[in-house]
Amino acid sequence: MSLINVSNLTFAYDGSYDNIFENASFHIDTNWKLGFTGRNGRGKTTFLNLLLGKYKYSGTIAASAAFDYFPYEVRQKEANTLDVAREICPSFEEWQLMRELNQLQVADDVLCRPFSTLSNGEQTKVLLAALFLNENNFLLIDEPTNHLDAHGRKTVSDYLNSKKGFILVSHDRAFLDNCVDHILSINKTNLTK
């Protein structure tokens, strides 16, 4: 277990007079399955980007964990799906990926196909499976249900429920309730656990 400590975090986009975060302080245990909720524009994705070091801010974010982000940006979508997975996590054994895909109800033959030929739902599941193979990394998952039907959402939710150590941004409360053990909500004026 390690902690992500956020102290006096203040952030606003360039040219904006309104802070997205103002003197926010909280901690996140890296064993938590944390659901991150709030209305559109409140700063959920912005916070994930702050963890990834994409923006300058005042205050401190201290973490000993390495972060991975979903959705992972696949640069060569024509590449074989197995090669895309290896780009994300170079050290896995093929059986490990097949085990993860089986839990996500994805047929093994997708590994032999170009990534671009997979459905959006299959792509989502392959990326999640590969990212979770980076065992020492803390996964930041941003809206994974965008391309999933009801059955796919349930499958991914059950899969995430079996994992630990992630932040999950989603507007689907039923999805969150099935797979997280903590909630952090961004409100207009504060953050609540």
**160 & 117 share domain:** no
Identify whether 117 is part of a domain: yes
CB 103 within 8 A of CB 163: no
**101 & 59 share domain:** no
**With pLDDT > 90 as the criterion, what percentage of the chain qualifies?**
72
Position 192 scores a pLDDT of 62
Identify whether 73 is part of a domain: no
**10 & 44 share domain:** yes
The secondary structure of residue 109, as a DSSP letter, is G
**59 & 152 share domain:** yes
**120 & 141 share domain:** no
Q: What is the mean pLDDT of residues 94-122?
A: 96
**26 & 116 share domain:** no
Identify whether 38 is part of a domain: yes
Identify whether 145 is part of a domain: yes
Position 17 scores a pLDDT of 80
Confidence of residue 38 (pLDDT cuts 50, 70, 90): confident
Range of the domain at 22: 3-65+136-192
Identify whether 57 is part of a domain: yes
**91 & 47 share domain:** no
Which CATH number goes with the domain that contains 175? 3.40.50.300
Position 85 scores a pLDDT of 97
Identify whether 74 is part of a domain: no
Residue 189 has pLDDT above 60, yes or no: no
Identify whether 71 is part of a domain: no
Identify whether 70 is part of a domain: no
**103 & 140 share domain:** no
Q: What is the 3-state secondary structure (H, E, C) of 53-87?
A: CCCCCEEEEEECCEEEEECCCCCCCCCEHHHHHHH
Confidence of residue 188 (pLDDT cuts 50, 70, 90): low
Tell which residue, 186, 152, 151, has the closest CA to residue 167.
186
**144 & 110 share domain:** no
The total domain count for the chain is 2
**49 & 8 share domain:** yes
**122 & 141 share domain:** no
What pTM was computed for the model?
0.91
CB 164 within 8 A of CB 33: yes
**115 & 141 share domain:** no
